Structure 1
Amino acid sequence: MSGVKITNAIKKYEAVQVIHGVDLQVDDGEFCVFVGPSGCGKSTLLRMIAGLEETTDGSIEIGNRDVTRADPADRGVAMVFQTYALYPHMTVAENMGFGLKMNGVPKAEIDRKVGEASQILKLDDYLDRKPKALSGGQRQRVAIGRAIVRGPEVFLFDEPLSNLDAELRVEMRVELARLHKEIGATMIYVTHDQVEAMTLADKIVVLRAGVVEQVGSPMQLYKNPDNKFVAGFIGSPGMNFVNGIVEAGAIKVDAFADRAVASTAKLPENGASVTVGIRPQHLRVDPKGSGLKVDLVEHLGGVTYIYLDAANGERIIVEASAEVDAPSYGSDVSVTFDDENVMLFDAKTEKRIR
């Protein structure tokens, strides 16, 4: 297996630039996830690694080989797409081995590799079936098996679970995590779903508008985001953001009934505007307080989400244990929290204030 090194990668479509000087190192055997909103450039960057999109400038190395201008077939990668793209008239075994057959690999070798892949993916009982007789999750496993039999240096996944229902998505996430541990391959995975990113990744690359916002392990990005975008994108539900004003070395927040937030961060001058961020699970509802109206209560079994509206129009989400009595719709409450759980961001640049 091999790692991937991207150096100052740029992609332009005529006058429109969509990837802006990306630098990235994916280590050998690492599970790296590109995550970000639609249109951020994550699939384009993946296709550049695969050779399906030409790299305008910069370089891409796979296993210390410069493959920037190499044909896709010569890069040592295998790609699994969002759509299964299986041949409907072929069996599972024939679909998995078709690429090898086209490359002139002997039948005995194809059978051996298909057999090994089917064991890994638990497809032994389905090898004689055709795609129409398979579930969505089974079809996606066949598509992954087709990639495995090629023995690539790097696996590339372009939102492979987005066509599956919620239950199958969870099942396939577990399958992919197990697959990575079993074969130890370098894998690069694209998704817009930050839950997939958090559960699968060794390393997460957060992209916005063709720029890498931050790279790190899931918990590094969750606990120590560099800016408001990363803080809001990583974590479910997303972080609450409210406006604050620096006053006498603390932050006054209207949404918190003018409660002053103390911080060890290096604050700007008095009167400066900042954005105060706090995650839903770090807030507690105080039914004896006032200043926030209960707009919606969601009971999800193990947890309850309480949606609160401030008088200035800002919205706050509180995550509470199911055992906690939730306030009723329309009631007047306030929130309490520990100052150490608050993050501060510059109101203009959105960068973290540390």
Structure 2
Amino acid sequence: MAEVVLNNVVKKYGDIQVIHGVDLQVNDGEFCVFVGPSGCGKSTLLRMVAGLEVTTSGSMKIGARDVTSMDPAERGVAMVFQTYALYPHMTVAENMGFGLKMTGHTKADVAKKVAEASRILKLDDYLSRKPKALSGGQRQRVAIGRAIVRGPEVFLFDEPLSNLDAELRVEMRVEIARLHREIGATMIYVTHDQVEAMTLADKIVVLRAGRIEQVGAPLDLYRDPDNKFVAGFIGSPAMNFIAARVSGAGQVDAAGLGSALPIAVRLPALGAPLTLGLRPQHLEIDTHASTHRVEMTEALGGVSFLHLTASSGEKLVIEARGDTVIKPGTMVGLRFDPAHLLAFDANSEIRLR
């Protein structure tokens, strides 16, 4: 296996630049997830690593080799796409081994590699079936098996679970995590689902508009975001954001939360606007106050999400443990520890520390 190093890579389509000077190192054996909203450039960046998109400028290495100008077949990568792209007239075994067969491997070698991939993916009972006789999750496992038999240095996944239903997505997340542990390969995985990113990744790369916003371990990004975008994108439900102003030394006023809130960061000048961030699990209902109106309760059994509107008009979400249900229209108050507040510059959206 090998590390992947991107050095100031740029991608342009004519005059339109979609990837802006990305620098990144994915370590040998690491599971790296590219995450971001639709159109942020994550799939384009993955396809550049695969060689399916030409790199306009910058350089790219896989292991010790500069692969910037190499054809996809020479890069030592295998890609699993969103669509399974299986041959409908071939069996599972034939689909998995077809690439090896076309590159001149012997029947014995193909059979050995297919058997090993089948064992890893628990496909032994399906080798003689054709794709139409498989579920969506089984078809995706076959597509992953087709990548495994090639023995690549790097596995690339382009939103491989987006076509599956919710139950199968959870099942396949577990399968992919187990696969990574078993074979120890370098993997780069693209998704717009931050839950997938948090549960699978060793390293998350948050992208926006073709630029990297932050790179780090999942919990590091969750606990210590560099800016408002990362804070709002990582975590489900999303972080609450409340407009505020500096009201004194180490204090801010926020109509959606209260006045004279203490905050231990370096604040701008008195009266300067900023944005406060507070995660839903750090808020609690206070039934002895009436500053917020309950709009809706999402009761999910073990946890409930309460959607509130402050008297200032701002929207907030509270995560409550248990089967808490409060009727719409009920007025409540909030309790929270100010130590959990994050502050962001109102203009640049950079985290204040």
Report the TM-score, using the length of structure 2 for normalisation. 0.99
Contact kept, 8 Å, 1:241 with 1:277, in 2: the verdict is yes
Extract structure 1 runs of 4+ deviating beyond 4 A: none
- Deviations 1:98-141 (CA, angstroms, capped at 9, x unpaired): 00000010000000000000000000000000000000000000
The 2-side partners of 1:305 and 1:222 are apart by: 19
Contact kept, 8 Å, 2:248 with 2:270, in 1: the verdict is yes
Contact kept, 8 Å, 1:305 with 1:320, in 2: the verdict is yes
- Structure 2 residue 188 is the aligned partner of structure 1 residue 185: no
**Local SS of the residue matching 1:25:** strand
The 2-side partners of 1:208 and 1:41 are apart by: 7
- Structure 2 residue 100 is the aligned partner of structure 1 residue 100: yes
**Local SS of the residue matching 1:99:** helix
* Structure 2 counterpart of 1:347: 346
**Local SS of the residue matching 2:275:** strand
Question: Structure 1: which amino acid aligns with 2:339?
Answer: E
- Deviations 1:298-325 (CA, angstroms, capped at 9, x unpaired): 10011000000012221000000115x4
* Structure 2 counterpart of 1:82: 82
Q: CA deviation at 1:328?
A: 2.1
**Local SS of the residue matching 1:45:** helix
**Local SS of the residue matching 2:88:** coil
Report the TM-score, using the length of structure 1 for normalisation. 0.99
**Local SS of the residue matching 2:177:** helix
The 2-side partners of 1:133 and 1:32 are apart by: 33
Question: Structure 2: which amino acid aligns with 1:280?
Answer: P
The 1-side partners of 2:302 and 2:200 are apart by: 23
* Structure 2 counterpart of 1:4: 4
* Structure 1 counterpart of 2:295: 295
- Structure 2 residue 263 is the aligned partner of structure 1 residue 254: no
Contact kept, 8 Å, 1:287 with 1:327, in 2: the verdict is no
The 2-side partners of 1:34 and 1:261 are apart by: 36
**Local SS of the residue matching 2:285:** strand
* Structure 2 counterpart of 1:332: 331
* Structure 1 counterpart of 2:46: 46
Q: CA deviation at 1:164?
A: 0.1
The 1-side partners of 2:312 and 2:47 are apart by: 45
Question: Structure 2: which amino acid aligns with 1:344?
Answer: A
* Structure 2 counterpart of 1:17: 17
Q: CA deviation at 1:89?
A: 0.1
* Structure 2 counterpart of 1:276: 276
**Local SS of the residue matching 1:255:** coil
Q: CA deviation at 1:203?
A: 0.1
Question: Structure 2: which amino acid aligns with 1:274?
Answer: L
Question: Structure 2: which amino acid aligns with 1:266?
Answer: R
* Structure 2 counterpart of 1:200: 200
**Local SS of the residue matching 2:268:** coil
The 2-side partners of 1:96 and 1:85 are apart by: 11
**Identical pairs, percent:** 68
The 2-side partners of 1:283 and 1:83 are apart by: 41
- Deviations 1:138-172 (CA, angstroms, capped at 9, x unpaired): 00000000000000000000000000000000000
Contact kept, 8 Å, 2:299 with 2:325, in 1: the verdict is no
The 1-side partners of 2:194 and 2:119 are apart by: 30
* Structure 1 counterpart of 2:176: 176
Unmatched runs of 5 consecutive residues or more in structure 2: none
- Please provide the CA RMSD for this pair: 0.7
* Structure 2 counterpart of 1:157: 157
- Structure 2 residue 135 is the aligned partner of structure 1 residue 129: no
* Structure 1 counterpart of 2:56: 56
Q: CA deviation at 1:261?
A: 1.7
**Local SS of the residue matching 2:256:** helix
**Local SS of the residue matching 1:23:** strand
The 1-side partners of 2:179 and 2:6 are apart by: 25
